[in-house]
Structure formats: C-alpha cells, structure tokens
Amino acid sequence: MMLAILSCEVAGVLQKMASHLLSVFCVLLIVCYCEPYNILVISPLAGRSHAILGDGIVRHLTNAGHKVTYITSFPDNMSHKNLTIIHASENKGVIKEQMISIQSIMDKDFNLQDIGFLFIMFMENARKAVSIPAVQELFKDNNQKFDAIVAEWMFSELYAGIPSIYDCPLIWFSTVDPHWMVLKLIDEVPNPAYSSDCLSSDIPPFSFRRRAQELYNQLYGLYLQNWFVNGMEQQYYEQYIIPHIRDKSKPVPSLNTLKYNASLMLGNSHSSMGGALKLPQNYKEIGGYHIDTNVKPLPENLKKIMDNAKHGVIYFSMGSNLKSENFPKDLKEGLVKMFGELKQTVIWKFGEDLPNRPKNVHIVQWAPQPSILAHPNCVLFITHGGLLSTTEAIHFGVPIVGIPVFADQFTNIERAVNKGFAKKVTLSYTMAKELKEQVESILSDPKYASKAKELSLIYHDRLVSPSDELVHWVEHVVRTKGAPHLRSPALMVPWYQKLYLDLLAVVFAVILTVLCLLWKLYSRLFKKSNKNIGSKKRN
C-alpha cells in the first residue's frame, strides 16, 4: 500500500517535472528557433569587391538559418544547403577588362569618375540582371515567395520594381559611405555644403569653390536622373517586371513610388572609416561585416617570411581588379628596384613572378589579406584604396599608403589621409620615387601606426558586431512587415515645402496685395486731393 502511494507520488512528481521540462523546452524552442525566412539577394555586378560584399550578406543570412536565393556573377564562391544561386553570367561583360586595366587608367582612356558614363554602365548591369532567363523564370514562378529582397544600389534603382511581384519589403544595400544619391531614397538629400558626392574626393569642411562644386554635382546628378536615367528605368520596368506583376493579378505601382518605398538601407560604412553625417533611422551601418572574424592561419611559407621579418613587413596589393599583366614594364621594374632598397620585407600580391627580385621582396599570386594584415609584424599596407582594403586596414589597425586608381578609391584615401593613418601617392609611370618617400615618412613616424590602432579601437568598440546587426535588421523588416515605423517623414514632403517656398510665395502674395492696396488708396487720395486742388484753382 505504502509503496503504491509512494510510487504514485513519485510518478506525480516525475510527471510534474516532465511537464516543467517540456514547457522549458518549448520556451527554449521558441527563443532559439527563429523562423527561417525566404530572402532574395540581388548583387550581380561582376566586380570582385562587389561580389565579396554580396557574398558576405548571403553568408550571414544563411548561417542564421534563412533560405537565400542569390543573383551573382560569381556562382562558385559559395555553397550552402539553404542557398540557391542564380548565375548572372551575362553581367560579366558590363565592366570591360580594359576599363579597369591599370595602363588604360593611367593613360586616361576611360573616365570612371564621369557620372554620366557610370549611369549608363550600371543601368546596363541592372537591365541584364533582370532580363536573364533564369531571373525571368524566377519572376514567373507562381509558387515562389519571398519575405524580403536585399538589392545592391549601384547607380540604378530598377530593382525597386521587383518587390511588387512578391508583395514583400525591399532593403537597399549601399556599398560605400552614405551619399546624397542613396540617402534621397530613404530620407532626403543631405546638404551639399557639408556632404560629399559619391565620386568626389573632397571631405568637409569645403572651400567656397568646393562647396559650389558639390552643389553642382548634386544638381547635375539630379538632372541626369530625371531626364535620362528614370526614362530608361521606366522602360525596363515595363518590359521585364510589370508583366509578372500583372500575371499575379497584383496592383502595378509606379516605379517612382517603389523607389522611395524601401524599408531600410544597409550601408557598408562606419564612422571609424567615413564621416559622421547625420543619418535617418532607416539607415543601418554594417561596415566591416564582410570580414571573417575567424582569421585563418597563414600558409606555412608566408608565416615563416612574416615571423622572420626583423624590420617588419610591407604588404603591397592593388586589389583584385587591377591585373598585373597590365602594369607598364618600367613601373614594375622601378617598383622592384625601389622595394629592394628598403630594409623591410615586402610581400607583393602580383599575378606574375618578377625576375631578378631582391632578397627582401616576395611575390605571391594569391594572398590571404586578412591573415597578413593581422600578423603583428605587418607595419604597412600599400593599397589601391578600395573600400574593402581600407576597411580591413582599420579592422587590423595597419597604416596605409594609398595609390587610388578609380571610383571611390580617391575618396577613401583622402579620408584615410585626413584621419591621419595614411599617405597618398599619385598613380603614374614614375611613382616609385614618390612611393619610397611616403613609405619612409610613414614608417619613420610612429603617429601613423598609433592612429591606425586608435581607429581600430573605434571600429571594434560597438554594441553588436556588424554581422549580427545585418541579420537583425533584415529579420526586423520581415517581422514588422516592412518596418513602416522607421520610415522617414521627409519622404512625404516635397522639396519646395522643405524650403518653405510655398510660405515664401504666400508672404510675397500678402506683401504684394498690401502694397497694391496701399498704392490704390494712395493714388485715389492723391488724385482726389489733386482734383480738389484743381477745383480750388478753378475757383
């Protein structure tokens, strides 16, 4: 009997414990198990650095458990069980090889600073991306659903039409420090008196001339967008996107409405690297997210070279786009000779081996850049100043000598110089001498290295890591159905109202009316008194 009661009690207790455990388990399950979302990431530009940024977004989203469909020109970079890749093979032709060859840039064959040229080139990039058969198939598929679309902004806003096919929110991704062309989409254009255009290499405070130039850049850009770009985008929207919206019997909004309807903008920026421009609530800084925080160990041979470098290592890389075979011969030889005169060890990432190399100069075809920069003996980074490279320099706290070549590189290097951890060298056939001077001046003055360390501290001193932030905000947009609470009220106010031109018009009208009335009154009185005088005279 006792035993039966006892076993009953035990069973009861066990049951209670089990139900407790079950509820704890359920709670845990709800906390840990976030619903996987279906996300489309569009980053088809066939530039290596753009692909690294696109891959980074995809990597963090898939690692967080989400299903991602990714439109990219580099389909072999990644694989994951939650990842579907759409190969934008036709986008490879958009950036022509010779356009980014160092020789043609030095000879100024193409002007990659020309905004009109960029608009046309990147418009073609966007058109190709939406027109490829695999993407058209994706649009056509009635079973395909997306919870959000992340699209890279690259001088085209055509992708803004795509969310209407799926009735889902849009998240812009901006690859550089925030500038007027992207801020306009989620808030308003910033004041050109203290914010640089995305192609300008100047940083505030501006001189009088510069300030006028920045204003001109904005007005000219707006003019091009309104008179050329928008028309073409409208045409492609009608051709490649609207049929699919109609197919699904959904309303067809105007492209202009959709451009300004993104929920958020993720920006590859951070105040440690760029400026401290005021930003709207729907702009989220995630600069540095592409860097793998698990730095891989160096390959044995490189590790040995770096460990044994008594005077430190100078790492030289002109990025992934500039091919070594296009380096002018004289320049190559001049650089090798110059590096040979330095006491530091030089690791040069270069596509070909160079004959008669001095002992301290090592050529590597492929370089694990983060692992090199992370090595304590790395004392200097000579770079073309691509944003990824300048970001990595700050991440690892290494000073730089920048040789900007095109696009945002001038701005990045200008900023780095201004922040005090860099020197700039102008790309030319005879730059070896200048490069040597700048290398020596940076290495002989400890203030550059200590500034790089200080910025690195600012960069790392964040509440959450940029990758966590990325995942959080994408999920937040889905969870809150487009995050309408973050929408900037500035988007609803036309420019003439912001400048109070309507009020000015009213004030003018009132003043004019009053003046008119006064004039009438005066002339009436005056005429009357004139008449009176006249009649008096007649009397």
Ligand X SMILES: *[C@@H]1O[C@H](CO)[C@@H](O)[C@H](O)[C@H]1NC(C)=O
Q: Is residue 360 within the footprint of ligand X (CB under 6 A)? A: no
Residue count of the chain, please give it: 539
Q: Site mask, ligand X, residues 422-451, x = CB under 6 A? A: ------------------------------
Residue among 253, 299, 312, 370 that touches ligand X (CB under 6 A): 253
Q: Is residue 169 within the footprint of ligand X (CB under 6 A)? A: yes
Q: Is residue 38 within the footprint of ligand X (CB under 6 A)? A: no
CB-wise, 147 or 177, nearer to ligand X? 147
Q: Is residue 370 within the footprint of ligand X (CB under 6 A)? A: no
The SS3 of residue 40 is: strand
Write out the E strands in 330-441.
345-349, 361-364, 378-383, 400-402, 422-424
Other CB atoms within 10 A of residue 115 CB:
18
Site for ligand X in 472-501 (CB under 6 A): 482
CB-wise, 156 or 261, nearer to ligand X? 261
**Rounded Cα gap, residues 291 and 370, in angstroms:** 8
Region class of 251: left (phi > 0), else alpha (psi between -120 and 50), else beta: beta
**Rounded Cα gap, residues 418 and 121, in angstroms:** 31
CB-wise, 50 or 284, nearer to ligand X? 284
Cα 331 versus chain centre, distance: 32
The stretch near ligand X (CB under 6 A) out of 254-262, 346-354, 408-416, 445-453 is 254-262
The stretch near ligand X (CB under 6 A) out of 75-83, 217-225, 250-258, 488-496 is 250-258
Residue among 73, 263, 321, 369 that touches ligand X (CB under 6 A): 263
The stretch near ligand X (CB under 6 A) out of 231-239, 251-259, 364-372, 388-396 is 251-259
CB-wise, 162 or 452, nearer to ligand X? 162
**Rounded Cα gap, residues 147 and 36, in angstroms:** 10
Alpha carbon distances (Å) from 399 to 163, 370, 444, 455, 497 = 42, 14, 12, 10, 46
Residue among 164, 217, 269, 390 that touches ligand X (CB under 6 A): 164
CA atoms in the 13 A half-sphere facing the CB of 105: 22
Residue 382 sits at φ, ψ, to 5 deg, of -100, 120
The distance of closest approach from Cβ of residue 249 to ligand X in the complex, given in angstroms and rounded to an integer, is 15
Residues that bind ligand X (CB under 6 A): 164, 169, 253, 257-258, 261, 263, 482
